[in-house]
Structure 1
């Protein structure tokens, strides 16, 4: 394996630990689960680092791994989940989300997940639409249409929230 690529990967993870954590957290809404996803993603990426063809694609390649790992985690949790939400909130310590814009958070929660993913990657992770399409493994045209639809729904939801 290329030693230079290994060091670039280590530097990338170190320099982007907070955005990567927030990205994983946006999927699972739990601090410990997000940290586990990042740890698993780093391990998976390290084992397949030799597959990176272009260093310029390192960011989108790793975000794709994080997204897939988070989705796999959520699928696994769907099968395991036994308690209802009320029981979980009673048993677990309360996690405080640090969104500054509650209306935006509520509007984002109303979006279907495929639309929410595009918004998170494009605006919260500041990725190009081409990279969003690569990470989600969808055509660019699909990423564009999901972004347009999500923005339209957010605008409607925020205008409804604002008029309350």
Structure 2
């Protein structure tokens, strides 16, 4: 009979394998650099295996690992003293083969201008298609805080996009 640690390792490997593109995109959305994103994913995997005992609920392994990726990305940014924004290449990566052949430059710019705490909620909810509860777990925030940030971020985006569309008329 496999040990609990071995079961955890197998579950983690399965989670990482199934969600590798999303995990990479999540890291990339913070650092906007392929090599740095790969380093963050690698560091996150190492941290996950090293901190296996911190996972209280094995059913929440995906959100637990996403939280590690987010925290590792934020740590990286703090060390680099850089503010990163979502760019065109990131938005393309999120689209995963949709049929739209144009880029919404206004949306990209509006996302770039959002503070990280708002951008994180929008990216996880709409680009990674996580439920509010999962976003809450990943960011280690209260569900109501996530809902409020999402509402505020969408309101800011709506205002920015409406302002830009009225300027074009």
Structure-2-length-normalised TM-score: 0.81
Deviation at 1:4, TM superposition (A): 2.2
Q: Which runs of 5 or more structure 2 residues have no equivalent in the other structure?
A: 92-102
Say if 1:17 and 1:130 are closer, same or farther in 2 by CA, change over 3 A. same
Q: Distance in 2 between matches of 1:96 and 1:122?
A: 18
Distance in structure 2 (CA, Å) of the matches to 1:19 and 1:101? 21
Count of residue correspondences: 149
* Residue 16 (structure 2) pairs with residue 7 (structure 1): no
1:114 aligns with 2:106: no
Q: Quick one: which of 76, 89, 94 aligns to 1:97?
A: 89
CA distance in 2, matches of 1:130, 1:33: 28
CA RMSD of superposed structures (Å)? 1.8
Matches within 5 A, 1:8-87: 8-78=11-81
Cα distance in 1 for residues equivalent to 2:113 and 2:80? 21
Partner Cα distance (1:9, 1:112) in 2: 31
Say yes or no: does 1:150 pair with 2:126. Answer: no
Q: 1:136 to 1:11 in 2, by over 3 A?
A: same
Among 135, 153, 156, the residue aligned to 2:138: 135
Flag structure 1 segments of 5+ consecutive residues without an equivalent: 82-94
User: What does the per-residue CA deviation read over 1:45-90, in whole Å, with 9 as the maximum and x for residues that have no partner?
Assistant: 0111233222221111001100110111001001xx7xxxxxxxxx
Q: Distance in 2 between matches of 1:53 and 1:143?
A: 22
The alpha-carbon distance between structure 1 residues 96 and 105, as it changes in their structure 2 partners (threshold 3 A), is: closer
